[in-house]
Amino acid sequence: MNNNLRKNAPRTQGNLKNSYNRIDHKRTDTLVYALGGLGEVGKNMYCFEHENEILIVDSGVRFPEDNLLGVDYVIPDYSHLVKNKAKKKVLIITHGHEDHIGGIPFLLKSVAITDIYAPRFAISLINKKLEERKMLRTVRIHEINSTSSVKMEHFTCGFFNTVHSIPDSLGILINTPNGRVVHTGDFKFDLTPVGTNADYQIMAYIGQVGVTMLMSDSTNSGVEDFSISEKKVASEIFDIMRKTKSRLIVATFASNVHRVAQILEAAVKCGRKVIIFGRSMENVVTIGSKLGTIKVGEQHFITPDQLNHIPANKVCIVCTGSQGEPLAALSRIASGTHRYIKLIPGDTVVFSSSPIPGNGASVNQVVNKLFRAGADVLTKSVLTNLHTTGHASQEEQKLMLQLIKPQYFMPIHGEYKMLKQHMETAMEVGIPAENIFTCANGDVLIMRGGKVFPSATRIQADDIYVDGNDISGVSTAVLKDRNILANNGLVAVIIAIDSKENRILCKPVIVSRGFVFIKDSQGLIKEAEQLVYNALKEKMAQRTTFSELKNTVRGTLEPFLYHKTHRNPIVIPVILNSKKAMEQMQNAHAHHNDTSVKTSHSSMDSAHHSSRKSTEKEQL
């Protein structure tokens, strides 16, 4: 993993008392740390380590920001777990969202996990994920629920039901040799929930027995009051479904299984046939139907070829794309590029979601396209309850703190601002500031005899950027080059030399991609070629190396191009050491005055072909 891009998370400190007084841990201590999920929303991964065992809670991914070009996933750095390969490791999953299960295939490739314990719905999603990668036989997967118990040598875990936007969501009670920890997982308190209710009595009982430390979801720490009940959203969607006389298109998160189930049930009640678009949505509906979470029979679904043969007011289209993702179904519908659906003026499009921070511009772009096509668009506002969150807001966080009554508190699952706001909420309910730890990924807390201390040591917990399914990570240089290519383009300089005679055979040929249009920049290209030619002739008047020649090309061309264009393209020197290459270079020069991008590309390809057949000697 030496080539991985390791982006160090900023060190965050809860308060002055905790940022000092750090201690070294002993063999009998229990260590608590996060490899992901702190200072960010995503890639949740929390570890509990005691002597020869490591208990891991969740293994998620984070989806990359726009500046991470070509990166598919961001995963935690597993090097600490790899280094401790002699310790037995068990993974427990709280629920089936990608930021909690998406990293499992990458983790299993790097670390020997003996057993995974997960709730029912999460197991179906994990099995599908591992089956696609032919990894199903690499680990034992056990189903757990609120009555289950997981026993290791040093850890014993019990569970309690929580309410979230996906079925079978669990909180965990972890008994360690040095105290008891409650990990809430993702939760909210909904007094009229869809699906299983939260285990209030069990949480209160756990609080009465005594809890050393609470680790609690911080995502909505900045939101006041209680969140809206999922049943209110269901009622609003049903009213819209009933009143709408046109074709209805509903976009929501595929991961919000309860919402998807309610949309489908409302459609059936209103006599509408349902069609699903979007791979993730199709997967969730298939799994939900199989497990009984989605109770709509097959007779209510239609296929794409039936779509145009059913009256518009008898159709409900459920699709992905509520966040404006370019390749999602709704974005393609809005752009008119969807294979099966063409918007009809009067269509009603419902966004049963709120834009995730950073996605607002993409969502607005899709909404504008929908309006332009003649659709009526309904989004969440103060007048409509079309969406509610799956995460606890401030009053719900206070209720969790009051039920569990921990001695110590560690806010988790959130950006630093969210962790800090959760810390302030905890102080409001009476937890002393010195007993609250707002940590960064890699910070270690020590549990010793029922007390918690910050550790003097820190674990490596950087971001690893994954391109495709390759977990070796994308190097810093690669990402930097991708950004330069995106902003400034590429200039290749093809040079033919004769190493035996120590001379350059002809003027270089410069090929540009994404920098300037060659036809409109003949003067600039010719001047650049002459400049490089003169510099190389001067350099080759004495003995030199290929490396020095390439540095000469870059050192000459980069300042010249910046002076002329105020742009810094990537400059790639291609040195060809053969007579045949010289002939092709001369041929390229003969046609250079009317060179098109396509012709230049052909010359470059031919030159590369010749270079593969020639042999380079490092010392000329």
Rounded to whole angstroms, how far apart are CA atoms 212 and 79?
29
Residues 350 and 240: beta-carbon distance below 8 Å: yes
Instruction: Tell me the three state secondary structure of residue 158.
Output: strand
Helix (H, G, I), strand (E, B) or coil at 616: coil
Closest Cα partner for 572 from 509, 525, 502? Answer: 509
What sign has the CA pseudo-torsion 180, 201, 229, 93? positive
Residue 118's H or E segment, with its range, is: strand 115-118
Residue 93 to residue 104: CA distance in whole angstroms: 10
User: Strands 273-277 and 156-162: what pairing?
Assistant: unpaired
Alpha carbon distance 458, 215 (integer Å): 19
C-alpha separations of 150 from 31, 91, 153, 173, 603 in Å: 19, 11, 10, 10, 65
Check if the beta carbon of residue 95 is closer than 8 Å to that of residue 70: no
Tokens representing 43 are 């890639």
Backbone angles phi, psi at 96, to 5 degrees: -95, 25
Structure tokens at 386: 């079309």
Burial class (CB in 10 A: 0-12, 13-18, 19+), 65: exposed
Cβ proximity of 586 and 576 under 8 Å: no
Active site residues: 217, 391
Identify any residues that bridge with 458 across adjacent strands, giving them in sequence order.
Answer: 443
Return the DSSP state at 454: E
Alpha-carbon distance 43 to 386, whole Å? 27
Q: Look up residue 13 and give its amino acid.
A: Q
